[in-house]
Structures are given as structure tokens and as C-alpha cells.
């Protein structure tokens, strides 16, 4: 005989289902908040320590007194030059290889499998290994010395695996119907690639680009051995040039009293990174609108 005072079954089961649901939901919320919070914390900390020293002259002067005084203009210019070389070399190779992997190889093919595995291994290689390779090959064997060119090429080797794998995913995410429709309409393969596949695969390319640029801008170890440490305004890509990350590293590690300028430089670096990311999204968006999906 059931006791009538005991709450009826439906509400009990409701209660049971409710509890883990809520726990999972709040856990997911908590994790998401933690991730956002840590980003805000880092940016906020940088802004708090770095903003007081940030001024127009900091962006337009050369470093003085080992970086404690003066600005960072040559460092910013070197950074942009190295990044430019890195992207100019790696982007065409990236798109080419990704198209090869996604469009020109059979699924499960031996060569594609081998290329993919090598890329995955390369993507996980520590940057210092790329630095030693770049120093031995570009700087010494090819005689480029400590130069922006050598640093940019080393970075290109480093970010290529990340770029290719993510661009390839972009191409793979294009539904097969698009390819079939293009073939049915009698579009040539280059036209299909340029007009349909590339615009639709752009989000993958953008993700790869943002990860790659982030890794390139953060790099110190590989560049100490290739592009070097010279904080003078570079007059060509064969000059040695110091990047923002190396400047921060040197100020924080080797220069007593360099912390405040290290913070300010870090603030500039993270602002630069955000600007590049926004610009990438903007260009990708325009590219998408140009393509078939939005016409």
C-alpha cells in the first residue's frame, strides 16, 4: 500500500532528471566563463601595466638604453616584414597543398595519407627545432646570415603544417553536391575551384591563418637563431631584425628595469594580433560575398 503523503512519481523523476541537467549546464557555463575570463584577465593585466607607458612616441621612436627608454618602431617594422615574408611564402604553398590533398587525391590514398601524417608530425615539432634548422639551412648553408628573410622563411616552414591541415578541412567541409552541380553545369576545374570551392572553404583558411599568424607572432626561439636580435631599423630583408616577441623576452629576461616597456610592447603585440585577426575576417567576408554562395 503506497503512502499517499509521499510525493507522486512524476515529480520525483522530474527532480532526478533536473539535477544532472543543471549540473552539466552550469559546468559548461563555468568553463566557458573561465575561458573568456582568462582572456579578459590577460588583456586587462597587459592594459593595466602597459597602457601608462603607451604613447605615440613609443610607436614612432627607436629603442634606447637597451630598450628601457625610447620606442619600438624598428621592432614593429621588422615584425611586419618577417610576418609578410612568412605569409607570402606559406599561403600559396598552403592553398596548393590543401587543394591537392582535398580535391586531387582519393580518400585513403597512400600518398595523401603520407603527406597528411608528415604534416601532423611537423605541426607538433617544437619551434626551437625549426630555429636550429633555419639557422643551419637558411642562415649558414644558404648564406643569408641573420636576416629577416631567413627568419620569415623559417616561420613559413613552421606555420605551413597548421595552415595546410586547416585549409584542407575547409575544402573537405564543402558538400559534394557543389562539385557535382558544378560538373553538371560543365564548369571547368579551375573555375569550380576559384568560383565555388575556394570561397566556400575560406572559413577553414581563415582559422588556419589566425592560428598560424598567432604562432608566428609569438615565436622567439626560432627567430633568435635566424632573424636575430638587432633592434635597428632594417633597410632590407637581408638585415637582421628583432621581433616584438624577442624584444619582450629580452626586456623581461636580460634588461634590469625593462619590465614596464616589456608590458607596453606586449600590449602592442596583442593589439597587432587582434587587428590582424579582424582584418583577416573582414577580407574573408568580402571574399565570401564575391563567391557563389552570396550571389
The verdict on 237 binding other proteins (CB under 8 A) reads yes
The verdict on 17 binding other proteins (CB under 8 A) reads no
Contact 123, 179 (CB under 8 A): no
Binding segment toward other proteins, per CB under 8 A, in 4-12, 105-113, 140-148, 284-292: 140-148
Residues touching other proteins, count (CB under 8 A): 30
CB nearer to other proteins: pick between 95 and 237: 237
The verdict on 65 binding other proteins (CB under 8 A) reads yes
CB nearer to other proteins: pick between 171 and 225: 225
The verdict on 230 binding other proteins (CB under 8 A) reads yes
In whole angstroms, the minimum distance from the beta carbon of 257 to other proteins comes to 6
- As a whole number of Å, the end-to-end CA separation of the chain is 71
DSSP string, the chain: ---TTSPPHHHHHHHHHHHHHHHHHHHHHHHHHHHHHHHHHHHHHHHHHHGGG--HHHHHSPEEGGGTEE--HHHHHHHHHHHHHHHHHHHHHHHHHHHHHHHSS-TT-HHHHHHHHHHHHHHTS-HHHHHHHHIIIIIIIS---S-HHHHHHHHHHHHHHHHHHHHHHHHHTS-HHHHHHHHHTT--HHHIIIIIIHHHHHHHHHHHHHHHHHHHHH--HHHHTTT-S--SPPSSTTS----HHHHHHHHHHTSTT-HHHHHHHHHHHHHHHHHHHHHHHHHHHHHHHHSGGG-
The verdict on 149 binding other proteins (CB under 8 A) reads yes
The verdict on 123 binding other proteins (CB under 8 A) reads no
The verdict on 253 binding other proteins (CB under 8 A) reads yes
The verdict on 250 binding other proteins (CB under 8 A) reads yes
The verdict on 240 binding other proteins (CB under 8 A) reads yes
Binding segment toward other proteins, per CB under 8 A, in 50-58, 175-183, 224-232, 263-271: 224-232
Binding segment toward other proteins, per CB under 8 A, in 49-57, 143-151, 158-166, 285-293: 143-151
CB nearer to other proteins: pick between 115 and 230: 230
- Residues 172-191 contacting other proteins, CB under 8 A: none
> Which residues are CB-contacts of 224 (< 8 A; sequence separation ≥ 6)?
131, 246
In whole angstroms, the minimum distance from the beta carbon of 190 to other proteins comes to 29
Binding mask 73-112 for other proteins (x = CB under 8 A): ----------------------------------------
Binding footprint of other proteins on the chain (CB under 8 A): 65-67, 140-146, 149, 224-225, 228-232, 235-238, 240, 250, 252-257
Amino acid at each position: 500500500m503506497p503512502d499517499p503523503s509521499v510525493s507522486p512519481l512524476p515529480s520525483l523523476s522530474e527532480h532526478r532528471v533536473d539535477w544532472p541537467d543543471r549540473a552539466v549546464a552550469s559546468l559548461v557555463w563555468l568553463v566557458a566563463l573561465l575561458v573568456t575570463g582568462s582572456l579578459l584577465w590577460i588583456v586587462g593585466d597587459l592594459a593595466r601595466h602597459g597602457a601608462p607607458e603607451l604613447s605615440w612616441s613609443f610607436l614612432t621612436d627607436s629603442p634606447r638604453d637597451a630598450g628601457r627608454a625610447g620606442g619600438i618602431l624598428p621592432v614593429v617594422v621588422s615584425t611586419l616584414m618577417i610576418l609578410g615574408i612568412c605569409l607570402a611564402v606559406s599561403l600559396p604553398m598552403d592553398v596548393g597543398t590543401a587543394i591537392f590533398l582535398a580535391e586531387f587525391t582519393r580518400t585513403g590514398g597512400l600518398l595523401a595519407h603520407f603527406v597528411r601524417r608528415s604534416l601532423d608530425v611537423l605541426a607538433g615539432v617544437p619551434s626551437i627545432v625549426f630555429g636550429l634548422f633555419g639557422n643551419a639551412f637558411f642562415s649558414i648553408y644558404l648564406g643569408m646570415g641573420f636576416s629577416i628573410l631567413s627568419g620569415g622563411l623559417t616561420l613559413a616552414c613552421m606555420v605551413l603544417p597548421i595552415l595546410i591541415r586547416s585549409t584542407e578541412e575547409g575544402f573537405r567541409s564543402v558538400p559534394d553536391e557543389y562539385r557535382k552541380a558544378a560538373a553538371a553545369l560543365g564548369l571547368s576545374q579551375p573555375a569550380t575551384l576559384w568560383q565555388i570551392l575556394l570561397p566556400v572553404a575560406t572559413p577553414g583558411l581563415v582559422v588556419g591563418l589566425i592560428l598560424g599568424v598567432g604562432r608566428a607572432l609569438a615565436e622567439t626561439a626560432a627567430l633568435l637563431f635566424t632573424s636575430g636580435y638587432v633592434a635597428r631599423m632594417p633597410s632590407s630583408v637581408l638585415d637582421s631584425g628583432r621581433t616584438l616577441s624577442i624584444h619582450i623576452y629580452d626586456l623581461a629576461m636580460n634588461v634590469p628595469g625593462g619590465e614596464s616597456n616589456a608590458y607596453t610592447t606586449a600590449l602592442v603585440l596583442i593589439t597587432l594580433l587582434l587587428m590582424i585577426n579582424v582584418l583577416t575576417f573582414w577580407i574573408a567576408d568580402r571574399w565570401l560575398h564575391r563567391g557563389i554562395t552570396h550571389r
